[in-house]
Amino acid sequence: EVQLVQSGAEVKKPGESLKISCKGSGFTFATYWIAWVRQVPGKGLEWMGIIYPGDSDTKYSPSFQGQVTISADKSISSAYLQWSSLKASDTAMYYCATALMDVWGQGTTVTVSS
Amino acid sequence: DIQMTQSPSSLSASVGDRVTITCRASQGIRNDLGWYQQKPGKAPKRLIYAASSLQSGVPSRFSGSGSGTEFTLTISSLQPEDLATYYCLQHNTYPHTFGQGTKLEIK
């Protein structure tokens, strides 16, 4: 079965760092672009960026460029979304998905609060 | 960036109604568009790909049409389980962009 499984919910303080993960199975992970999507509570879906695990080629939405880092480790079929200094406004649900969004992870809730 | 303007932002319809949701792209995107359904508390699910192709396992009451800049998602006979928010996504040009969403309520 083709699936993406994300890491668990996180509660962090402003200024802390965080790296969440998305592990693929049932397909050749290195050959599929993997995207990240943000959903602020009560709001719509926002496309953040995408990575090709085979060579780590990465594209960012201008809205998220410089705010997050997308990376991948093809040897363990995993993609990552990372923050160096979280803000309260980063509180959201984060999804990974294949490029054309036919397969989605279950989502990771990130809560940033002092 | 390509802007995707989705309308309406919300709509209320009765079981059995025909429902249409529209997405307009700020520039031509060929047929590089998908439609997604998100039920409360769940991850989105793809309904339509390549503007008009039905995802395997999706009921045939869902259909998509359009090319270039104007696209529609149609539900031919609304069912109670169709309560959800629907989004379009263009994947023609980076950054990929979603429409703002249409919240569908059942009367």
Distance CA A100, CA B57 (A): 17
8 A C-beta contact, residue A89 and residue A83: no
Cβ-based neighbour number of residue B42 at 10 Å: 12
- With contacts defined as CB-CB under 8 Å, which chain B residues touch A101? 34, 36, 44, 46, 89
The secondary structure of residue B34, as a DSSP letter, is E
pLDDT tens digits for A64-100?
A: 999 999 999 999 999 999 999 999 999 999 999 998 8
Residue B18, classed as helix, strand or coil, is coil
Output the pLDDT for position A82: 98
Residues of B in contact with A104 (CB under 8 A): 43-45
Q: Tell whether A106 lies on the interface with B, counting CB pairs under 8 A.
A: yes
pLDDT digits (tens, 9 = 90+) for A34-61: 999 999 999 999 999 999 999 999 999 9
- Predicted confidence (pLDDT) at residue A101 exceeds the cutoff of 90: no
**How many Å apart are CA B57 and CA A64, to the nearest integer?**
34
Q: Inter-chain contact B34–A107, Cβ cutoff 8 Å?
A: no
Q: Distance between CA B39 and CA B93 in Å, rounded?
A: 27
Kindly report the three-state secondary structure assignment for every residue of A30-58: HHCCEEEEEECCCCCEEEEEEEECCCCEE
CA–CA separation, A5 vs B26, rounded Å?
34
Contact map slice: A 44-103 vs B, CB within 8 A: 44-47, 49-50, 59-63, 95, 97, 99-102
User: Cβ–Cβ of A60/B89 closer than 8 Å?
Assistant: no
Mean pLDDT over the full length of chain B: 97
